[in-house]
A and B are shown apart, each in its own frame.
Chain A
Amino acid sequence: MKDTLERIRTCAKELADSCSELKTLDDIRVRFLGKKGELTSVLRGMGALSADERPIIGALANEVRADIENAISTKKKMLSDAAAQIKLKAEKIDVTMPGKAKKLGKKHPLTQVLDEIKDIFIGMGFQIASGPEVEYDSYNFEKLNMPKDHPARDTQDTFYITENILLRTQTSPVQVRVMENSTLPIKIIAPGRVYRSDEVDATHSPLFHQIEGLVIDRNIRMSDLKGTLDLFAKRLYGKDTVTRFRPHHFSFTEPSAEMDICCFSCGGKGCRLCKGEGWIEILGAGMVHPKVLRNCNIDPDVYSGFAFGMGLERIVMRRYNINDLRLLFENDQRFLNQF
């Protein structure tokens, strides 16, 4: 009986090893381990054994069964793995083919940069204010310390609607509106469209965008203006950006300044981009003129503040190397798709 068991073991293992199909493997299992299988038949004859032999043969029979089961399951795994491999291989696709995307639109480059600028100022605690584009002369000029016939008006060729109503030439009238209508302290930026009577060419447009800023509180110092705008420049242009402040003149600030950044193209040596100066003018700024504060019923002996303004188009054109301002207003999809 021991021999029979050994024979069954050898035979079953050989058959399992040489088997190449899952179906045949199942047949092998039935043939040896099934209810009517060879091993089962042998075990049925156990009753004829002596009490001494029975446990020995019993143990051997279990060992044989375990061996056969092991051989079959090992083979089964091998075969199913191979089958899975074949299936995977057959399912191969060309992953370099294009994805199925829903086409996205593009944000206009002016909005992209404006959103970035807004985020920088929002991060510094500024809110976003706005005001009308068709504006009173008094807000655009007079309350900003530029009375009628003031020569500074000549630098801003103005479109008029009536004698008293015009298209704002700057976003600065929003300063006045905010000062008249808000509670102090004030910390705002005001982006928007402005209009000047300039003929269209590669660097001029009768309509362009400015971003105005205004901070008013007790004890606001000119050093705060520098710190705030320097931080802004570093956020917009990179942390290694070097700024410089130069004296300038605006009717509604005193002292007034312009902020330049060290030319990012030549590093200050002077090149075509910075017209050899090594510096690029970014914005105008200054301490709010006491006359403007008084015009808005704010006491300049108690409060002080700073204001700044910058042109969006120039920042955008430099960032993307756009050499013609007209492209921004033409809206050719091939242009817009680039951003």
Chain B
Amino acid sequence: MNLSVNWLNDFVDIKTDPKDFADRMTMSGSKVEMFDNIKNHISGVVVGKITKIERHPNAEKLVICQVDVGSESKQIITGADNVFEGAVVPVCLDGAVLPDGKTIKKGKLRGELSEGMLCSLGELGLTAHNFPNAVEDGIFIIDFPVEIGQNITDALQLNDDVFEFEITPNRPDCLSVIGLAREVAATYRLPFKNRTPKFSSDKGDSIENYLSVEIKNAELCPRYTARVAKNIKIEASPLWLRNRLHACGVRPINNIVDITNYVMLEYGQPMHAFDYTCLDGKAIVVRNADDNEIFMTLDNQQRKLDSSMLVIADAHKSVGIAGVMGGANSEITENTETVVFESANFNGANVRRTSKKLGMRTDASSKFEKGLDPCMTMSALDRACELVELLGAGEIADGVIDINMDNRTRRTIKLEPDWVNKFLGTDISAEFMVSALRSLQFEVDNELNVTVPSFRDDASEKADLAEEIVRLYGYNEIPSTLVNMETTQGMLTKEQSLMKNISQSLIAQGASEICTYSFVSPKIYDKLHYPENDIRRDSVVISNPLGEDTSIMRTTSMASMLSALALNYNNRNEAVCMFEPATVYIKREGTDVLPEEKVEFCIGAYGGGQDFFTIKGIVQQTLELAGVYGCKYIPQTDNPTFHPGRTADIVKDDSVIGIVGEIHPNVCSEFGIGEKTYVAVLDFNVICANSVTEKSYKPLPKFPATTRDIAVVCKKDISVAQIEDIITENSGNILESVKLFDVYSGEQIPSDCVSLAFALAYRADDRTLSDEEIDAKMKKIIKALTKIGASIRS
């Protein structure tokens, strides 16, 4: 909402430094976003009068003008063809600055001196809407009385400080000059100049002769007020009015339309003017639209209405969408002779729904949707009539039609000064509280009953009064205290700590944390080669997404990881290892049921010599740190996303913790990664469920360990885990550790076999083990190994 200080001064006498004004208004609750004055952008431009025009000797299209700029005469060359001797024009003197930042310097044009420039409307940052008699493609000829030599911003009455306010949705009353003036008056404790519009009407010609109004849906239209103006003369509005509209960012059109806009800006009450001759049956009926009714609005767009929407109609047809936009069929034109001014109140929620459905948010709808005060329809309407008279735009028919079904009563709230101070932590006097509320036009009686003004529907209980008081008292006057309450323990829960520790472990092992979008494209499931009917394709779908790429909530974190890896690959990052604690969203059965949200740790890597075992190592260390011991890695051969021979399910007892493997080369190419890529996914919930964090001390060994190395030659399809299991099973409880330390194939080993060398350590708690004891174990092991076709390499 823009506020012109010239306009503001109609209601509050205030002269102030703009920066100081902006600060004070911001601190009392009306935030100033920015402020400006066009005079700050135009300098060195004055009013001049062309006294003589001669042809330029060296250029056919240029003329040389002698221009009287008050104190002296300047020679200025122009190429415009609409200048004439005697024309009054804006003149840029040497060094002048224009709103687009351009500086004008004197100089020679084709050998002749030009001491400045004559300017057009556009060069002054204006349009023909501001000055309807001027042309846009030539020099701006000033056709109204101004003083020669006068500064152009003064001459055009543009010297005005304009403030842009951020108005929060709870304060629609402040979407108006009057509303902001009330705030200014309260902030500065200045009187608010309340004025009642005055005009005369043609006593002999009653509105009854013209119009009847009927409201068919009082819930959606609590009040409808109308007057008729006749003998209308459509013309441009006067300069002061056009300038005020311009300052508020509204385009001047003609006097009648400008008046409705002016009143909307001044009162915050949207108005509409109908061309009376277009209304059939001398009637206005406020009713619901018909389903599938087609209606052309003022902007010449066809709109399809439905019965939830409210329209203004005459006896036969709709002439406006209530609170949104009027119809093209009753628009004010140059030939309009009689108008009906509408000043009505419509249900905010309904206007909001209608404007959303139609996809048209107008100045009017954006005000109505916030809920306006039904009490202001009459004064706004009267103000419009006053302006008609003031502008000489027409005559007002006698009387008014005012159907008021508003049954709201004025709200009363008890002011409790002690409670207010206790709630705020302040020591504000009751006198201050009362005077603050009164300055905001709340009525306060001797018993401290506060009556809320009709335009403050937002204030409904004592906390609201506390806010009104404290914003005038000053938020910065509230002391800073620390909470005095029962001690609470600030700490992470077990799950939160575990999550943090897992991240730390991954970082310590060289993985960098990433952060990706939780919504993805449904195409990712194809890219991951999920089967057609895979349950993981069943995603939570966004009904109004920005685009397909962000239209569903992911059920897997893998696509996000692979996309991030692909970006790095395309950016030629050679070795990458990353992880994300990623939330995934799993649909649950039933309607209106929220999905399960769970966290997956997704780890991904390529390049730099990293292989399956690098990622497996990271996973193993991380699980150990998380207190998950004894996980098994079971080959997973038919997950279509992964390499069938290089993938394992990570299993702890009966639960699957996750998967680790090399991504299938076809999936890699779907994502555009040209290197072997490794991914592990760990389900955080399963980690939590299996995490053992209690630790207990075991005495350090007293007896030495005995070590044996054995090299097992076996077929390549026998896994290390199988052999380790055989060694463990046949060693009894004295086996301390078994470690694979060498893998060999080549000379001396059959080509379908491999030699696996293990270091075994045996130890007992209560004795030094004898060689015989160990030899017996080794024999058992070798015998068992033979059964699976393995032999011992000596």
Q: Which residues of A contact B (CB under 8 A)?
A: 102-108, 110-111, 115, 121-128, 132-136, 148-152, 154-155, 159-162, 164-165, 167, 185, 187, 193, 195, 197, 199-200, 206-207, 215, 217-224, 226-228, 230-231, 244-249, 251, 254-257, 287, 289-290, 300, 304, 328-334, 336-337
Contacts and interface: CB of A to CB of B under 8 A. Distances in A.
B544 A160 contact: yes
A107 B568 CA distance: 17
B20 interface: no
B571 A224 contact: no
B517 A329 contact: yes
Interface of B: 26-29, 31, 168-171, 348-349, 352-353, 369-371, 422-426, 461, 463-464, 466-467, 470-471, 475-476, 478-493, 496, 500, 503, 506-519, 540-546, 550, 553, 564, 567-568, 571, 573, 576-579, 583, 585, 591-592, 594-595, 597
B488 A105 contact: no
A269 to B, nearest CB: 12
B480 A254 contact: no
B26 A255 contact: no
A136 B591 CA distance: 12
B486 A185 contact: yes
A333 B577 CA distance: 9
B583 A133 contact: yes
A254 B467 contact: yes
Contacts of B545: 159
Contacts of B171: 249
Contact of A332 (B479, B546, B568): B568
Contact of B592 (A155, A165, A227, A248): A165
B567 A330 contact: yes
Contacts of B594: 132, 134-136, 165
A221 B579 CA distance: 43
A304 B27 CA distance: 24
Given A127-B488, A217-B486, A254-B467, A132 B513 contact: no
B514 A246 contact: no
Given A134-B595, A151-B169, A160-B544, A336 B481 contact: no
Contacts of A187: 483, 485, 488, 490
Given A151-B370, A185-B488, A254 B571 contact: no
Main secondary structure of the interface of A (DSSP, over half): mixed
Contacts of B348: 149, 151
Contacts of A106: 507, 512-513
A134 B597 contact: yes
Given A217-B483, A255-B470, 17 more contacts: A105-B509, A124-B490, A134-B553, A150-B169, A161-B540, A162-B591, A165-B594, A185-B486, A206-B517, A217-B486, A220-B485, A221-B424, A223-B425, A223-B481, A249-B168, A249-B170, A333-B576
9 contacts: A102-B509, A151-B370, A160-B543, A162-B543, A187-B485, A207-B518, A215-B483, A248-B29, A329-B515
* Of B512, B514, B568, B592, most A-chain CB atoms within 10 Å: B512
Nearest to B424: A222
A62 to B, nearest CB: 51
A209 B357 CA distance: 30
B592 A162 contact: yes
Contacts of A246: 26-27, 29, 31, 475
A290 to B, nearest CB: 5
A226 B496 contact: no
B482 A224 contact: yes
B478 A226 contact: yes
A249 B459 CA distance: 12
B471 A304 contact: no
Contacts of B515: 108, 110-111, 328-329, 331
Contact of B518 (A151, A193, A215, A304): A193
Contacts of B518: 133, 193, 207
B332 to A, nearest CB: 29
A125 B487 contact: yes
Contact of B491 (A102, A122, A135, A254): A122
Give the 5 A-B residue pairs with the shortest CB-CB distance, closest first: A223-B425, A221-B425, A255-B467, A249-B168, A247-B29
Given A128-B492, A331-B515, A255 B542 contact: no
A150 B351 CA distance: 11
Contacts of A218: 485
Contacts of B483: 187, 215, 217, 220, 224, 227-228
A221 B424 CA distance: 5
A108 B512 CA distance: 7
B510 A104 contact: yes
Contacts of B573: 332-334
B324 to A, nearest CB: 15
B550 A107 contact: no
B512 A333 contact: yes
Contacts of A148: 349
A225 B583 CA distance: 32
Given A151-B348, A257-B475, A105 B577 contact: yes
A325 to B, nearest CB: 12
A267 to B, nearest CB: 16
Contact of A122 (B490, B512, B592): B490
B567 A125 contact: no
Given A126-B490, A127-B490, A287 B31 contact: no
Nearest to A188: B488
A155 B169 contact: yes
Contacts of B486: 185, 217
A292 B489 CA distance: 25
Given A222-B424, A246-B31, A111 B546 contact: no
Contact of A224 (B168, B353, B425): B425
A105 B508 contact: yes
A183 B514 CA distance: 36
B490 A227 contact: no
Contact of B544 (A127, A185, A197, A336): A197
B700 to A, nearest CB: 28
Contacts of B544: 159-160, 197
A222 B470 contact: yes
A231 B483 CA distance: 12
A287 B422 CA distance: 13
A333 B511 CA distance: 10
Contacts of B595: 134
B490 A107 contact: no
Contacts of B490: 121-127, 187
A200 B550 CA distance: 11
Nearest to B361: A154
Nearest to B618: A105
A28 B634 CA distance: 74
Contacts of B353: 149
A287 B510 contact: no
B482 A287 contact: no
A111 B580 CA distance: 11
Contacts of A219: 422, 484-485
